[in-house]
Amino acid sequence: MSADKANRPPTNSTWVRIPDGTKVRHRLDAYDGYIDGLTELVEGPGRNPDGKTQYRVNVGPGARQLVSEENLNILLGHDDQVIIGKEKEAYRQLMTKRLRAAFESDRFVRAT
């Protein structure tokens, strides 16, 4: 086994990725944005459960932040469904069910 692989944190094969376009809020800094993909990190702390990535969060025109899953809350609309871009209600219901099964209830907050 290479030294690089030996130093990586273990991966979680049951990790549920937050879909692109999902509205999120940073748990500590309280800024809102939406998931704009994943970025693989070579080194550094605060990775997603897959052990190698962080989410790219679009926080405004041309502005992105790299954030690990543990620092994100998922925003809910007035209908208690996750907010995912302009997706249809059936997809939002499916993703809400899937994300609620993967995350604790305190990770879901209503958008203001």
Instruction: Find the helix or strand (DSSP H, E) in which 102 lies.
Output: helix 89-102
Whole-number pLDDT of residue 54? 92
Whole-number pLDDT of residue 4? 46
Reduce the DSSP state of residue 71 to 3 states and report it.
Answer: helix
Angle 12-73-103 (CA atoms, 0-180°, nearest 5)?
40
Could you report the per-residue pLDDT of 41-84, keeping only the tens digit for each? Answer: 877 778 888 888 999 999 988 899 999 999 999 999 999 999 99
Instruction: Indicate the CATH number of 3-75 among 3.40.50.720, 3.30.1330.20, 2.30.30.60, 1.10.10.10.
Output: 2.30.30.60
Whole-number pLDDT of residue 93? 95
d(CA 94, CA 4): 37
Could you report the per-residue pLDDT of 5-30, keeping only the tens digit for each? Answer: 444 444 445 789 999 999 999 999 99
Could you report the per-residue pLDDT of 33-43, keeping only the tens digit for each? Answer: 999 999 998 77
| pLDDT, mean of residues 101-107 | 95
Domain locations along the chain:
3-75
